[in-house]
Amino acid sequence: MATDAKPPRPPAGTPAPSPPPTMPGPARELRIYGHTSLFYWWPIWVMGYLFGLITLVSDGRGVIVHKDAVYEGNVITIAEGKKLVLEGTLMTEDGKHFHERMHPSKTLGVVFVVTLFVVMLITSVPLRGVAAAVFISALLIVTLTFALMGWWDAILTSFGRLSIHLNAGFYFALSTILLLAWLIVFYFFDRMHYWVVRPGQITHQYVFGGGERSFETEGMVFEKLRDDLFRHWILGMGSGDLIMYPMQTGGAQRQEFHISNVMFVGSKLKKIQALVNLRPEK
């Protein structure tokens, strides 16, 4: 005699087994973009626009004269006998104002040149460790301290009246060109290829050519490198390099995929680990 056997009921108070973790559809995919070193150059065009505005509102003006020109009182006598008369803080020639905007202090030029040097050094040479951080910190502190104390004018004058004067046109021209290059690289060239992480799979995709490479995430090891204080933490605002090691098969050599300058690499690594632990959709 056949009977329908029912499975025994679990004891009261026993929690029901939880299903495998899942995510909503849009959250089951993560795109990772790497960036070039130009990403870290944003302080240059930001400072260039700032110093350009400071130069515009200042009372300084610049004029280029012949080496034989003579300055006496408020008159500059040029070799050909032509005279430039200084009226207050503005230079005039036959009643016309000069429009070459240039800040009278050398401090702006010095700070801009030192900042440019530091950014070039940081983005070109990997500086890791305490010694590099101490060196760059000391350089910036000395530069800013001398600027606030107004010592750069006296220091540069002692070297044969050396001066670093940059006019407003230079600041705005350089900043605009650098900003356009930064936007084109950041929003166009850096997005020509990217990595897509899905549950159980990671794919390297290219926009042009339609090529892609996929790897199983089972056994894959992820590592983040963010030990460059100034490049990753200050200029990159939490960026870092992401390295992926797919699982080795047989006697194959260990593969390594390096994604440089990933923004918010810490939070992205957490999302990657969450996606790796999800079950793939059937």
Cβ(41)–Cβ(120) below 8 Å: no
Torsion sign over Cα 130, 134, 135, 136: positive
pTM of the complete model beyond 0.85: no
pLDDT, residue 73, reads 64
Distance CA 109, CA 123 (A): 21
The predicted-structure confidence for 102-113, as pLDDT tens digits, reads as follows 888 778 888 898
> In whole numbers, what is the pLDDT of the chain averaged over residues?
75
Distance CA 15, CA 12 (A): 9
Looking at residues 85-94, what average pLDDT do you find? 54
Looking at residues 83-100, what average pLDDT do you find? 58
The predicted-structure confidence for 97-147, as pLDDT tens digits, reads as follows 666 788 887 788 888 988 888 888 878 776 665 666 677 777 777 777 877
The predicted-structure confidence for 34-53, as pLDDT tens digits, reads as follows 888 888 899 999 999 999 99
Mutual orientation of helices 107-124 and 42-57 as an angle, nearest 10°? 170
**Distance between start and end Cα atoms, the chain:** 40
Name the least confident of 139-143, 147-151, 165-169, 192-196: 147-151
Give me the residues paired with residue 30 across strands. 197
Whole-number percent of the chain with pLDDT over 70: 65
pLDDT, residue 2, reads 47
Closest CA to 111 of 50, 62, 187: 50
pLDDT, residue 12, reads 57
pLDDT, residue 254, reads 63
Cβ(60)–Cβ(29) below 8 Å: no
pLDDT-derived band of residue 179, with 50, 70 and 90 as boundaries? very high
pLDDT of 82 > 50? The answer is yes
Question: 30: which residues sit within 8 A by CB, 6+ positions away?
Answer: 196, 197, 268, 271, 272, 275
